[in-house]
C-alpha cells in the first residue's frame, strides 16, 4: 500500500530528527522546575494526546482507530490492512512561587517541544504491533543564591541543569481468546542529564586567597526494561462495552554513568578533577489497573497506578543546599476521564462529529523533601476534530492545568516551591486503510 510506505517513511524521518531537535532547545523537553534538581527529573505523562486529555486514563481502553500506548494488550485492536500514525507537540507555562524571608518570590518560564510519535499496524488476524517514541522525564532548572562568609565576605552560587530521558517502546498485542487480549513490550531508555554548580566569591574583605569552584556532572543513560499487559471485555453488545485492564512494568536499574568535572581556580593556579562512576538509580516497578466503559457516544475511564520507587532506590538520597534530605518514595496516582461524541454519523452538523474530552489526575510526587511529601494534581480538557485528509484522520487539541507543592502555604520551613503550570498540546492522528474508507464517518461497531 503506497500510503503506508509514505507514512512509515515520514515517521522514521521525524523520529530521526526528534532527539536532535530536542537537544537544540534552550531548555529541555517540557520542564523548567526546581524540583528537577534531583534524580531523573520531572516525569512526563505517558500516552498519546487523546488519553492525556482524559486525565491520562486508558489502561483498559480498546478503541479501533486509536493508538493506546499505555497497555500493549490494546495493540490487538488494530484493524486488518490498516495503519495508524500519531504525532504530537506540547508547550508548557510554569509559574513558581516561594516564600523567602517572609516575602513571596515568583518566576515564570515557557517551554515547547515535540511530545510523541507512535505507529500501530497489524501483524496477523487479531495480532497487532505498535511503536512509540516519547519523553520519559525532563530536567530544567536555574537557581541562584548567596551566603555570607565571615572569613572573607560573600559567596554567590549558581545551580543549572538540563536534559531528558527518552523512552522507545515496541510491543505486540494478541487477542488470544474472544474478548481477552494479552501483550508485551520492550522499552529502551536513553538520554543525558547535565548539572552545573558554580561558586564565586565576592566582596573579599582581606587578602585571603579564595578559589572559585565550578562543578559539572553529566549523567548518561542507556537501558532496557519490559512491560506486560492484559485486557478483558466481560460486557459487549451493540450498545455497550466494558473492559478491565492491567499492566505490570518490571522496572530495572538505570545505572547511569556520571562523569564529574570539578574546576577549582584562583588568580595563580587551577585544579581539575575528573572521574566517572555508576549511580545506583533504578526505574520503579509499576502496577496499573483500570476500567473503561463506552457506548457509541460516551466513554468513561478510571485508572490506578502504583510505583515502587523506594525499595529499588533505598540507598539513594541527596541533600539540598538548606540541608534537607531528598529521597525517593512510593507513589499512588488516580486518573479519571470522559469522552463524548454527539453523533459520528451527522453529515450536516460538523460539531456533532467532534469528540469532547475531560479528565482529572491526582497523586504524589516521587520524592520527599525533609521527609515531607509533595501533592500534585491536574485537570485536563481536549477535543478531537475529524478531518478529511490522507484517508480518515483527526486533529487533537488538549489543555492541562496542574499544581505541585505542599498546600496553599508554600511550606516555607523546607523552602518548598508552589508550582502551577499550563500545557497546550496538539496531536495529529492518521488512520489509513484500503479504499480510502472514512473511518470517522462510520458508526463504530464492537467486535
Q: How many CA atoms lie within 13 A of 403 on its CB side?
A: 11
Measured in whole angstroms, the distance separating CA 314 from the mean position of its chain's CA atoms is: 23
Residue in this structure with the C-alpha cell 517572609, named with its chain if needed: 102
Q: Which residues of the chain have pLDDT under 70?
A: 1-31, 99-104, 149-153, 202-211, 265-271, 320-323, 389-392, 406-416, 434-447
For the chain, the structural domain boundaries read 2-441
Closest CA to 384 of 33, 27, 49, 2: 49
94: its cell numbers: 510554569
- DSSP per-residue letters across 384-399: EEEEESSSEEEEEEEE
- Structure confidence by residue, pLDDT tens digits, 359-372: 999 999 999 888 88
Q: Quick one: pLDDT at residue 9?
A: 47
Q: Quick one: pLDDT at residue 145?
A: 75
In three-state secondary structure terms, 321 is coil
- Structure confidence by residue, pLDDT tens digits, 383-424: 999 987 544 488 999 999 999 886 544 455 555 678 899 999
Q: Are 254 and 283 in contact (CB under 8 A)?
A: yes
Q: Quick one: pLDDT at residue 1?
A: 45
- DSSP per-residue letters across 55-101: TT--TT---TTS--TT-GGGGGGPPTT-EEEEEEEEEEEEEEEEEET
CATH homologous superfamily for 2-441?
Outer membrane protein transport protein (OMPP1/FadL/TodX) (2.40.160.60)
Strand 241-249 relative to strand 285-294: parallel, antiparallel, unpaired?
antiparallel
Rounded to whole angstroms, the Cα distance separating 61 from 281 reads: 32
Q: Are 167 and 135 in contact (CB under 8 A)?
A: yes
Question: Which strand (E) or helix (H) includes residue 51?
Answer: helix 49-52
In three-state secondary structure terms, 370 is coil
Amino acid at each position: 500500500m503506497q500510503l503506508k510506505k509514505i507514512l512509515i517513511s515520514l515517521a522514521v524521518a521525524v523520529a530521526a530528527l526528534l532527539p536532535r531537535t530536542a537537544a537544540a532547545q534552550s531548555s529541555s523537553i517540557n520542564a523548567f522546575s526546581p524540583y528537577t534538581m534531583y534524580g531523573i527529573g520531572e516525569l512526563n505523562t505517558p500516552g498519546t494526546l487523546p488519553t492525556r486529555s482524559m486525565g491520562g486514563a486508558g489502561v483498559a481502553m480498546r478503541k479501533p482507530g486509536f493508538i493506546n500506548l499505555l497497555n500493549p494488550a490494546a495493540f490487538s485492536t488494530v484493524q486488518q490492512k490498516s495503519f495508524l500514525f500519531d504525532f504530537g507537540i506540547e508547550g508548557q507555562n510554569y509559574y513558581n512561587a516561594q516564600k523567602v524571608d517572609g516575602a513571596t518570590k515568583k518566576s515564570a518560564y515557557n517551554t515547547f517541544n515535540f511530545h510523541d510519535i507512535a505507529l500501530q499496524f497489524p501483524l496477523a488476524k487479531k495480532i497487532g504491533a505498535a511503536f512509540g517514541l516519547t519523553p520519559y522525564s525532563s530536567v530544567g532548572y536555574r537557581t541562584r543564591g548567596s551566603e555570607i562568609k565571615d572569613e572573607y565576605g560573600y559567596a554567590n552560587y549558581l545551580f543549572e541543569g538540563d536534559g531528558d530521558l527518552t523512552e522507545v517502546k515496541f510491543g505486540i498485542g494478541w487477542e488470544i481468546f474472544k474478548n481477552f487480549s494479552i501483550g508485551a513490550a520492550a522499552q529502551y531508555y536513553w538520554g543525558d542529564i547535565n548539572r552545573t554548580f558554580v561558586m564565586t566569591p565576592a566582596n573579599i574583605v582581606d587578602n585571603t586567597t579564595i578559589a572559585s569552584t565550578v562543578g559539572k556532572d553529566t549523567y548518561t543513560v542507556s537501558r532496557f526494561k519490559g512491560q506486560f499487559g492484559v485486557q478483558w471485555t466481560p460486557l459487549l453488545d451493540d450498545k455497550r462495552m466494558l473492559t478491565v485492564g492491567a499492566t505490570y512494568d518490571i522496572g530495572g536499574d538505570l545505572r547511569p554513568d556520571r562523569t564529574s568535572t570539578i574546576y577549582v581556580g584562583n588568580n595563580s593556579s587551577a585544579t581539575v578533577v575528573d572521574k566517572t562512576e555508576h549511580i545506583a538509580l533504578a526505574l520503579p516497578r509499576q502496577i496499573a489497573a483500570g476500567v473503561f466503559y463506552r457506548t457509541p457516544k460516551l466513554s468513561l475511564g478510571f485508572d490506578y497506578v502504583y510505583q515502587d520507587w523506594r525499595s529499588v532506590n533505598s540507598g539513594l538520597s541527596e541533600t539540598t543546599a538548606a540541608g534537607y534530605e531528598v529521597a525517593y518514595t512510593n507513589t499512588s496516582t488516580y486518573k479519571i476521564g470522559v469522552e463524548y461524541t454527539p453523533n459520528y454519523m451527522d453529515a450536516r452538523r460538523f460539531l456533532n462529529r467532534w469528540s469532547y474530552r475531560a479528565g482529572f489526575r491526582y497523586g504524589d510526587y516521587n520524592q520527599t523533601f525533609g521527609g515531607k511529601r509533595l501533592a500534585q494534581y491536574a485537570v485536563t480538557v481536549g477535543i478531537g476534530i475529524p478531518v478529511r485528509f490522507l484517508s480518515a484522520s483527526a486533529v487533537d487539541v488538549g489543555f492541562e492545568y496542574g499544581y505541585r507543592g505542599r498546600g496553599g502555604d508554600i511550606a516555607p520551613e523546607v523552602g518548598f516551591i508552589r508550582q502551577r503550570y499550563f500545557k497546550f498540546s496538539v496531536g495529529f492522528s492518521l488512520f489509513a486503510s484500503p479504499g480510502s474508507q472514512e473511518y470517522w464517518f462510520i458508526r463504530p461497531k464492537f467486535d
